[in-house]
Amino acid sequence: MESSRIHKLQLLENEARSCQRCDLSATRNRVVFSSGVHSYGLVVVGEAPGASEDRDGLPFVGRSGQLITRLIEEEIGLARDNYYITNVIKCRPPSNRKPNSVEIAACSVFLTGQLELLNSQVILAVGEVAARVLTRLKTSVGSMRGQVHAMGGAKVVVTYHPAYALRGGKAIEQAMRSDLRVVGGLLDGE
Ligand code: URA
């Protein structure tokens, strides 16, 4: 990735670190902007930081995050340092409630900027909030899975939120694994 894009991403991150666009800024401990690299073709977009992410300042480090990270490694062969991870919302909603539409709109400048600058070919949307934002559809994850959506020039694959797999058991995990194999196939085709 060219250095000017990396610089612009850094500026966007600096802006997010002092953001007060919505009320989540009053209750967060850390802004969780991203982790991973920009050089590979995959961007993973989750919902919002949970307690562990809010504590560490990194996405996908709690129980749910560890599950999706392991599944990506097992199904696509990529360790978490090899792709870019972010969330729709950069600050933790209190008690891990779902982010509301005001918060999603306030934070959209960051996700839109990240995706434009990264210009990634394949985006994995994790859970309903990310899936709806990225596909602009208002349906369930179940009905958005099993097809490749387009967002600008990028291909978007939708999968369940790992918290659902932690509650819902092996069938959900198997479905997630199958979604990840679709992502792997798209990356191989690059
Ligand atoms: N951790 C995150 O950072 N985002 C999620 O969507 C789930 C877990």
Residue 171 CA: distances (Å) to CA of 64, 126, 165, 166, 176: 16, 16, 8, 11, 9
Rounded to the nearest angstrom, the distance between the alpha carbon of 92 and the centre of ligand 1 is 10
Q: What is the pLDDT of residue 55?
A: 98
User: Where residue 73 sits, what CATH number does that domain have?
Assistant: 3.40.470.10
Nearest-angstrom CA–CA distance, 83 and 190: 15
What's the pLDDT at 169? 84
The C-alpha atoms of residue 183 and residue 144 are separated, in whole angstroms, by 14
Q: State pLDDT tens for residues 137-179.
A: 999 999 999 999 999 889 999 999 999 999 988 999 999 999 9
CA of 62 to the centre of ligand 1 (A): 8
- The mean per-residue pLDDT over the stretch 179-184 comes to 98
What is the pLDDT, as a whole number, of residue 42? Answer: 96
Determine what percent of the chain is predicted with pLDDT higher than 90: 92
* Whole-number pLDDT of residue 162: 96
Going by the DSSP 8-state scheme, the letter that residue 32 receives in this structure is: -
Over residues 61-85, the mean pLDDT reads 97
Indicate if the pLDDT at residue 39 is higher than 80: no
Tell me: pLDDT of 190 over 80: no
Instruction: Look up the domain containing 65 and give its range.
Output: 2-187
Mean pLDDT of the 177-186 span? 98
CB contact at 8 A, 59 and 53: yes
Between CA 159 and CA 45 the distance in angstroms is 10
Q: What was the pLDDT predicted at 40?
A: 67
Q: What is the pTM of this model?
A: 0.97
| For ligand 1, atom 2: residue with the closest CA | 60
Q: For 93-129, how does the pLDDT look when each residue is reduced to its tens digit (9 = 90+)?
A: 999 999 999 999 999 999 999 999 999 999 999 999 9
Distances in whole angstroms, Cα of residue 187 to Cα of each of 40, 77, 148: 9, 11, 13
- Rounded to 5 degrees, φ, ψ at 165 are -65, -35
Write the DSSP assignment of 71-88 as a string of letters.
Answer: HHHHHH---GGGSEEEES
For residues 78 and 12, what is the distance between their CA atoms, to the nearest angstrom?
A: 26
Q: Give the number of domains in the chain.
A: 1
Examine the pLDDT at 135 and tell me if it is beyond 80.
yes
Which atom of ligand 1 is found nearest the CA of 49? 3
8 A C-beta contact, residue 141 and residue 128: yes
Computed over every residue of the chain, the mean pLDDT equals 96
- The helix (H) or strand (E) run that includes residue 142 is helix 141-144
Cα 98 from chain centroid (whole Å)? 14
124 neighbors 42 (Cβ within 8 angstroms): yes
What ligand 1 atom has the least distance to the C-alpha of 87? 4
